[in-house]
Structure 1
């Protein structure tokens, strides 16, 4: 941190602003660069890259997890000022829900200069997510589950079919499993499972994440499928991706993994929108990129035909460029003898494009998939078949029974 700490401040007309400015002005190691009009003005000022710290009222309109993520992205450390009537612990809890670690109450502004100049370390007290301000902390009762992100290139290789089948196969092992539809181009998980509720679980989760309430109200964004499987339904229309603010999907998956195993269905594109960093609106593909970033395991799905394999090869290169250290599970879907090549031939084709943790083949089984789609059921629910057995083997490899955790 430089010799003089450069500060942005936004109080939204709160009475604590004048005494706070006085306290900061008395410290020779601090310079206030700008008094921002509102949170949007603060985010624009932070983008310039000249500030180190943002002092912002905890009640400022627009202060949410997305705004905090934007500040941190541009190297600005946020400090929240809790209003009168809120205890320090209560303020810390509310701030922690949107990602702010340091809190000063407005009746103790003498502590503000030290908070501004102090390094943000792990010694800062963090309140657990979801605990009521005046209640006891939430104690985890089980180890977090894993996040498995299912991705694949354009051309409908079967991402959703694999994601739904994989989630159902893990759930059949009597493990709590949450299936999340995070496709920014309009999800199909709800339709596959016959869920007709028009309320989008993803949009509800995004709103709760923005408000810092997702952890405590996570149950409200899920739709139960059976005793062990639930789904967070996706976008009802493709154009509503703009309502999912940056960081919302990542936060959703982190909360979901506290409740069990998580399987995520994503979009096809990994192209990052270069203009998204200049405003609060995320790029469309940030939902997919965020799901891949959080993932413990990545499953890449491709078709077995010549076009599908060509797209799969390019997709594996994209994944390698995104994170070359990660080994991915590759699923070749709709494998059939009429194509004229063997599993060994395909293995030789895809080897070398990325680090591969495992290669799996799902046979073409139109009868089983049609029966499941028409009935709004999972593959496993419509009976035994070569496809359901292949998906079960995939689940064994990705989430072995002996190592699966959950509630």
Structure 2
């Protein structure tokens, strides 16, 4: 028995389609959904096999189709125009739908519903969450997420610095501000942008148009660095679904190495699974899940180290096996403990692939912020050299052909 959901959004073909499916053997219409949110919420129950949807239904996008496939609900689209029309087929392909039926020829609907699993694209069967149009990053490009616990330990400053140093070495780099609590990358780099790059990219991803228009969502900062600016206000997080960010990261990976500035909270929201809205921290969790390496930054003071220790424990639940590197920020002699003592603390909470210390240089950081430039652009110094050592460790291939602008900082505690 095939259980079917219908979502026609008031289209004229709904009554005839319902009648034909009701008469067909081996098919039962489980529910007529009023809109996309109702459809996604019902699909989450896991009782449906197929969703018959209007191709032009309001709110139907790639993230909606991905949600259906995540719960093993196979989509069949009813088009108001000829299914052989290039525009109709192009829209269906962008959404990730391969089974099409014309609204004026519903004779084959029951048969298509019964065999949709045989004609669906194998890349999106059995709950696979990749839309058909999704890109796959090239092997030489990596996604690195910069994460840290609450308390402003320096996530954005580190993300901007790593991206800027990598770009300075001639490596194409995309810096993505994916903080769901409000972005700060644009402010740090002095980017005056009335349109959020992330929101623009999310809308294009939802419409299946990100592939061709990705460049329009980025801002060039120098020859090798592109920036996708973050949310203009914290309340706009609801406009970016996890599948949107996945599409953005896949496409960015085609351009170059990807550096992600993330939020601090790792708490999941079960309500986000019901389709009405994304989870608040979905962007952060998606960024960490997609990352090839996670760089955790913590402040060197007692409160910061306590938060870092708890964060490393919490992070183990969501890393998905990606290597974790720790950067201890604002290290200064007056704190009363040595780097080796901090290394012992970190090793007690998590096995990390590397540990680095950044010296406290508030004046250099202030100058960079006021000038709207990265620390790497603001001149040489102990902090900039330490940042260079972090990039050396994360992207060793970037050392090939690098201009000898400064000396190297000794890598510490490689045994971790």
Instruction: Tell me the TM-score normalised to structure 1 length.
Output: 0.87
Say which SS state the counterpart of residue 327 (structure 2) adopts: strand
Q: Does 1:256 align with 2:256?
A: no
Deviates more, 1:330-339 or 1:394-403: 394-403
Could you tell me which residue of structure 1 aligns to residue 413 of structure 2?
none
Say which SS state the counterpart of residue 217 (structure 1) adopts: helix
Match of 2:133 among 126, 129, 133: 129
The alpha-carbon distance between structure 1 residues 90 and 310, as it changes in their structure 2 partners (threshold 3 A), is same
Aligned equivalents of 2:51, 2:173: Cα separation in 1: 39
Say which SS state the counterpart of residue 151 (structure 2) adopts: coil
Q: Does 1:10 align with 2:7?
A: yes
Match of 2:333 among 337, 341, 353: 337
1:252-287 Cα offsets, whole Å, 9 max, x none, are: 112211111111111111111232223421121111
Say which SS state the counterpart of residue 102 (structure 1) adopts: coil
Say which SS state the counterpart of residue 258 (structure 1) adopts: helix
C-alpha displacement of 1:115: 3.3
C-alpha displacement of 1:15: 5.0
Deviates more, 1:379-388 or 1:395-404: 395-404
C-alpha displacement of 1:91: 4.5
Match of 1:59 among 29, 43, 56: 56
Deviates more, 1:278-287 or 1:257-266: 278-287
Match of 1:36 among 33, 36, 39: 33
Match of 1:49 among 46, 50, 54: 46
C-alpha displacement of 1:96: 3.9
Match of 1:210 among 206, 219, 224: 206
The alpha-carbon distance between structure 1 residues 10 and 395, as it changes in their structure 2 partners (threshold 3 A), is same
Q: Does 1:305 align with 2:301?
A: yes
Is the CA contact (8 Å cut-off) linking 2:178 and 2:283 kept in structure 1?
yes
1:74-127 Cα offsets, whole Å, 9 max, x none, are: 3322233344245377555433433x3432241586251343353856278999
Pairs aligned (count): 392
The alpha-carbon distance between structure 1 residues 341 and 6, as it changes in their structure 2 partners (threshold 3 A), is same
Aligned equivalents of 1:351, 1:142: Cα separation in 2: 33
* Unpaired segments ≥5 residues, structure 2: 401-416
The alpha-carbon distance between structure 1 residues 399 and 24, as it changes in their structure 2 partners (threshold 3 A), is farther
Say which SS state the counterpart of residue 234 (structure 1) adopts: coil
Aligned equivalents of 2:168, 2:365: Cα separation in 1: 18
The alpha-carbon distance between structure 1 residues 50 and 142, as it changes in their structure 2 partners (threshold 3 A), is closer
Aligned equivalents of 1:324, 1:182: Cα separation in 2: 19
Aligned equivalents of 1:151, 1:23: Cα separation in 2: 53
The alpha-carbon distance between structure 1 residues 307 and 280, as it changes in their structure 2 partners (threshold 3 A), is same
Runs of 4+ in 1 over 6 A off after TM superposition: 123-128
The alpha-carbon distance between structure 1 residues 114 and 47, as it changes in their structure 2 partners (threshold 3 A), is closer
Aligned equivalents of 1:403, 1:381: Cα separation in 2: 18
Q: Does 1:95 align with 2:99?
A: no
The alpha-carbon distance between structure 1 residues 75 and 113, as it changes in their structure 2 partners (threshold 3 A), is closer
Is the CA contact (8 Å cut-off) linking 1:66 and 1:280 kept in structure 2?
no
Could you tell me which residue of structure 1 aligns to residue 414 of structure 2?
none
Aligned equivalents of 1:294, 1:39: Cα separation in 2: 27
Match of 2:192 among 171, 196, 211: 196
Could you tell me which residue of structure 2 aligns to residue 135 of structure 1?
none
Match of 1:165 among 161, 168, 190: 161
Match of 1:70 among 59, 67, 70: 67
Could you tell me which residue of structure 2 aligns to residue 277 of structure 1?
273
